[in-house]
Amino acid sequence: MSNYIPDYDPSGIAEINGNLLGLPYDYNTANLIIFAVPWEVTVSYGAGTANAPQRILDASYQIDLFDFDHPDGWKQGIYLVEISQDILDKNNYYRQQAAKIIARQSEGKALTNTPDLTPILTEINQAGAQVNQWLFSQCQQAMNLGKKVAVIGGDHSSPLGYFQALANQYPDFGILHIDAHADLRDAYEGFEFSHASIMFNALKIPQISKLVQVGLRDICIDEVEIINNSNNRVFAYYDSAIKQQQYAGKTWIDLCQEIVGNLPENVHISFDVDGLDPKLCPNTGTPVPGGLELEQVYCLFREVVKSGRKIIGFDVNEVGDAEWDGNVGARIVYKLANLLDLSQK
């Protein structure tokens, strides 16, 4: 669906208008609504991803609109809903509270020691549930108007409410998950909605029939067991195994087609930028050496579209609080928006 705006010059200078890429759309005229979730309460290593939505917005004004995969992709109408200051303020407060819990655990001491930190943990888990509920209702509302929805996180816990909204719309869908980490930990560090638990929580949603993970290279024993015992509900493509196959002469295109073959017809893309080589997003929360090139990941996404599958949504998370990371993050968001639209054609 094209929302043609007659006096808009897509080759002109972007107007800094509060919308992604300076596009001239609002909530009513856009077909793709993007929600920002500036939340990173449970991050245990590098902080700053709560500022990612703003970084991505700021960087997006510098991006040219011509896209080689879908030159008219911008015409679908893309709108970034204003970043919630209330969520950002709550994030900053609860982040400090969570730091106390993480510090206590790293000393090997019980949360029940004096001062007892269990009430703080309960409060943080409730705050996480509230953010999920807020996102769920926002996504549900937009989808009920026939719009497509996407999410720009803070940390990778951000899209859970969105997954639940998608599950109300689609009886069966898969997640294509780009990440250095499997995120299959059960309430990591006691946080029910930890960034390290997003896919563990996603698997509680029965409509998510497949989870296909690509680029994993930092994983715990319990997570490997979950993958191995999932009855092919979860497929893991470990970074080292991908590279080993490529060194032996297997082409990336062949590997992409194999990866995509595991996905059902409807596909959500969940993109944690630490799945990439860290030179691309060096300020992400938990960088790991190795990883994928950006064009390599785009190639995989193109194979999803070429296979006739539909991209029904996407989330982009863990973009660092720095200009370069914002630049890369903004390009990823725009590419995914265009491929989503292309796959619907």
Which amino acids are annotated as binding site for Mn(2+), given as ranges? 156, 179, 181, 183, 272, 274
Is the torsion defined by CA of 23, 26, 31, 35 positive or negative?
positive
Integer-rounded Cα Rg, in Å, for the chain is: 19
Distance of CA 301 to the CA centre of its chain: 14
Residue 226, φ and ψ in degrees, nearest 5: -60, -45
User: Which amino acid does the sequence have at 103?
Assistant: A
For the chain, give the number of residues. Answer: 345
Q: Which residues pair with 276 in a beta bridge?
A: 292
Q: Is the Cβ–Cβ distance between 31 and 20 less than 8 Å?
A: no
Q: How many CB atoms lie within 10 A of CB 123?
A: 13
Cβ(298)–Cβ(335) under 8 Å?
Answer: yes
Nearest-10 Cα torsion for 318, 324, 330, 333: -40
Beta partners for residue 161, in sequence order: none
Which residue carries 């994983």 as its tokens?
219
Residue numbers in the known binding site are: 156, 179, 181, 183, 272, 274
Using an 8 Å Cβ cutoff, are 55 and 329 in contact? yes
Quickly count helices (H) and strands (E) in the chain: 10, 8
Are 214 and 292 in contact, with CB atoms under 8 Å apart? yes
Distance, in Å, from the CA atom of 305 to the CA atom of 302, rounded to the nearest integer, reads 5
Q: Name the amino acid, one letter, at 219.
A: I
